[in-house]
Amino acid sequence: MADRIIENPIINSPYQPPGRHFRFDDDGITNEIVPGRQPSQYFIPVPRPRRRGRQIELDFAEFTADKIRKNDFVNQVRDRVDIWRKQGYPHVTPTTRRLFEHWSDPERDNPILFAQREAAETAIYLAEAAQKAGDAWIRNQLNETNAACNLSLHRVALKMATGSGKTVVMAMLIAWQTLNKVAQPNDARFAKRFLIITPGLTIRDRLRVLLPEDENNYYKLRGLIPADLHDDLGQTKIVIANYHQLQRRETKQGKTVGSLTKELLAGTAGAASPFRESWGQMVARVCRDLGGTSGIVVLNDEAHHCYLDRYDTPEDEGITDKDLTGDDKAEARQNTEAARLWFNGLRAINERLGVKGV
């Protein structure tokens, strides 16, 4: 990459839709500012050989215009949401409209970042307005992708840059779903039961700000809902769990007998172990504080850790990757086992409780 000096890389307000961006050329990024929002796109860099004990390093000389690939689906959805925003959010419930007015109020003491608003708007557009606006193709494409990659488990991803505030977005979505469900209990589009799955204990503790009863909850601290709706928000039920909790644990009985006894009593190979939770028991343990029988909404924090391995079948416990060796293969195995645990846990919850969406 040619040496380029950009004196001020911040050229847009964080509270308004971006209206300018830096141009890329065959040598990389330039300091030339061009009008318009930069399209969603990605680069195809070439990773350097990995050294033992170090992460993959990227060759930034590859971040040039000829390596750019646009995310067509993202850009198309973004354009439709932008039009809908400019039209004043038609086809939404009165509760949703009030939240939009609250979030976009220019007199707010704690303004919401545009990236946060747009993420919430996109999820809401898909749930409430896209069909009526003639954009059923969005849902259809998501359904096709979920059928191909997620065993038809309904998943939607909001991909946000580090530091853009995805926890605030999670709070906005919880408030939107819950307040609509309280206002319209029979509307099947909404729920007030949420299971939040995290990749680590530290993150789980940090997400306590999503609990309305927490003294530092974001709904009050960030002013995410009108003051008179806080009591309604209290009807929500939220469980925050580390993905390890989706592991089927050893039962109390199993902890009292030896390994040989377990082998003898387990019976033939492939039979369910009497000393290990069933999938139903795991779901009951993880979700018992949610109560009720209606569908729930699952929020995967850092969802890129949860995926269906390309070698998997629903019954396959094996891991295969012929392209990796040594430490890379061991790390891939560990990541795949974690992803499988997370993904299959969601499948079990969906089969037994019903999941409105992930």
Q: pTM of this prediction?
A: 0.86
166-199 in b/e burial notation, b at 16+ Cβ within 10 A? Answer: bbbbbbbbbbbbbbbbbbeeeeeebbbbbbbbbb
Q: Is 50 a domain residue?
A: yes
Q: Does some domain include residue 175?
A: yes
pLDDT at 91 over 50: yes
Query: Which pair of structure tokens corresponds to residue 96?
Result: 């949703």
Within-domain flag for 246: yes
Sort 72 into a burial class: Cβ within 10 Å, 0-12 / 13-18 / 19+.
exposed
Same domain, 107 and 226: yes
The C-alpha atoms of residue 179 and residue 231 are separated, in whole angstroms, by: 10
Residue 16, H or E segment:
none
Q: What is the mean pLDDT of residues 156-164?
A: 92
Q: Is there a single domain that holds both residue 256 and residue 345?
A: yes
Task: Evaluate whether residue 318 is within a structural domain.
Answer: no
What digits encode the pLDDT tens for the residues 104-150? 999 999 999 999 999 999 999 999 999 999 999 999 999 999 999 99
**What is the domain count for the chain?**
2
Instruction: Report if residue 6 sits inside a domain.
Output: no
Q: Which of 263-267, 269-273, 274-278 has the highest mean pLDDT?
A: 274-278
Looking at the fold, whether 34 and 135 belong to one and the same domain comes out as no
Final residue of a structural domain among 9, 40, 70: 70
- Do 124 and 41 share a structural domain? no
Edge-to-edge strand ranges of the sheet holding 237-242 = 237-242, 193-198, 296-300, 355-357
Do 286 and 346 sit in the same domain of this protein? yes
Residues 242 and 130 reside in one and the same domain: yes
- Do 28 and 128 fall into the same domain? no
High-pLDDT (> 90) share of the chain, %:
68
Cβ atoms of 203 and 240 within 8 Å: the answer is no
In a domain, 48, yes or no: yes
Q: Read off the tokens for 121.
A: 């708007």
Residues 230 and 103 in one domain: yes
Judgement on whether residues 276 and 295 belong to the same structural domain of the protein: yes
202 found inside a domain: yes
Are residues 100 and 24 both part of a single domain?
no
- 33 and 110 belong to one structural domain: no
Q: Domain containing 107: what range?
A: 73-309+325-357
| Domain end among 37, 70, 103 | 70
H/E stretch holding 179 reads helix 166-183
pLDDT digits (tens, 9 = 90+) for 35-86: 999 999 988 766 555 555 555 555 555 677 788 899 999 999 999 999 999 9
- Residue 332's pLDDT is 82
2, part of any domain? no
Query: Residue 224 above 90 pLDDT?
Result: yes
CA diameter of the chain: 73
Q: Does the pLDDT of residue 17 top 60, yes or no? A: yes
CA angle 289, 293, 299 (to 5 degrees): 60
Collapsed DSSP state (helix, strand, coil) of residue 259: helix
